[in-house]
Amino acid sequence: MTPILTVLICLGLSLGPRTHVQAGTLPKPTLWAEPGSVITQGSPVTLRCQGSLETQEYHLYREKKTAPWITRIPQELVKKGQFPIPSITWEHAGRYGCFSGSYTAGRSEPSDPLELVVTGAYNKPTLSALPSPVVTSGGNVTLQCGSQVAFDGFILCKEGEDEHPQCLNSQPRTRGWSQAVFSVGPMSPSRRWLYRCYGYDSRSPYVWSLPSDLLELLVPGAAETLSPPQNKSDSKAGAANTLSPSQNKTASHPQDHTVENLIRMGLAGLVLVVLGILLFEARHSQRSLQ
């Protein structure tokens, strides 16, 4: 019995670490959405899961709730890590993850989660700046998102520069006419500050309302950096400055002609003097002969 137990223990110690190493050889894949993770209802989107070169299969799942649409994806696309949605609806919204696998290395760790959001479920809220959309450079500003719909939460997203909007989540302060406030800043005149906000129900946190109208914050000094307000006057001044050399040139032309005329007149006078001398010598020689 003792030799048998020894052999079994040795086999367990030798096989155990190998199994653990094989299960962890694949790195966790990357999951993203194209063209983005915040999609308007009815628009197409594709979830992509990408792993290492050893990957032979991909698996996509939704947290807390099954996603029947995943099972209807053709296997040739699943093997490539592609999960297209031709027309997104509220049923597709949620928090997703994926993992990759191979027959030799086993299954990888799950990817980082991806929150797929569908917009357009409710009427759009209103977004305003308090007390004014004009903000001093380096200062902060308070933005208020409100709606007559009794939302449980609001989302504020900064748009324009980044490929993916930067969003903040806030809880409403009142019921009935629900609203939420956000503090943003410090403001810089070298950038554009464009914002929209959304409302949502906490029972479906990945289903948002239509976006609010776009709000742009104005920072004094940004005009000189992005689009100078003195463009017209500056262009006139620039045109004047551009024309002034030519005006100077045209003004200098009479001076140049005057000098040329003086030179010509001097040459003509010199010729006349020479001719006069020649005539004088000719007459003097004739008189001497007589």
Any idea which residue has 């980044």 for tokens?
162
pTM to 2 decimal places: 0.65
> Looking at domain 123-217, which CATH architecture does it have?
Sandwich (2.60)
In order, the DSSP letters of 168-204 are EEE--SSSSSEEEEEEE----TTS-EEEEEEEEETTE
Q: Are strands 82-85 and 45-50 parallel, antiparallel or unpaired?
A: antiparallel
Q: What is the largest CA-CA distance in the chain?
A: 168
Q: What's the rounded Cα separation, in Å, for the pair 33 and 164?
A: 11
Any idea which residue has 């308070």 for tokens?
142
- 30-119 under CATH 2.60.40.10, yes or no: yes
Give the pLDDT confidence score for residue 189 in this predicted structure. Answer: 87
| Identity of residue 14 | S
Collapse the DSSP code of 52 into the 3-class scheme (helix H, G, I; strand E, B; otherwise coil) and give the result. Answer: coil
Helix (H) or strand (E) holding 220: none
Give the pLDDT confidence score for residue 173 in this predicted structure. Answer: 60
Whether 30-119 shares its CATH topology with 123-217 is answered yes
Helices (H), the chain: 2-23, 75-78, 222-225, 231-289
Lookup: tokens for 245: 């050399």
Helices and strands per DSSP (H, E), number in the chain: 4, 16
One digit per residue, the tens of pLDDT, for the chain of length 290 reads 455 544 444 444 444 433 333 445 789 999 999 999 999 999 999 999 999 988 999 999 999 999 999 999 999 999 999 999 999 999 999 999 999 998 888 899 999 999 999 999 999 999 999 989 999 888 899 999 999 888 989 999 998 766 567 899 986 665 556 889 999 988 888 888 999 999 999 899 999 999 999 999 998 875 544 544 444 334 433 443 434 444 444 444 444 556 667 777 878 888 888 888 888 777 767 656 54
Give the pLDDT confidence score for residue 225 in this predicted structure. Answer: 47
Instruction: For the chain, give every domain's residue range.
Output: 30-119, 123-217
Q: What's the rounded Cα separation, in Å, for the pair 187 and 164?
A: 20
Give the pLDDT confidence score for residue 116 in this predicted structure. Answer: 97
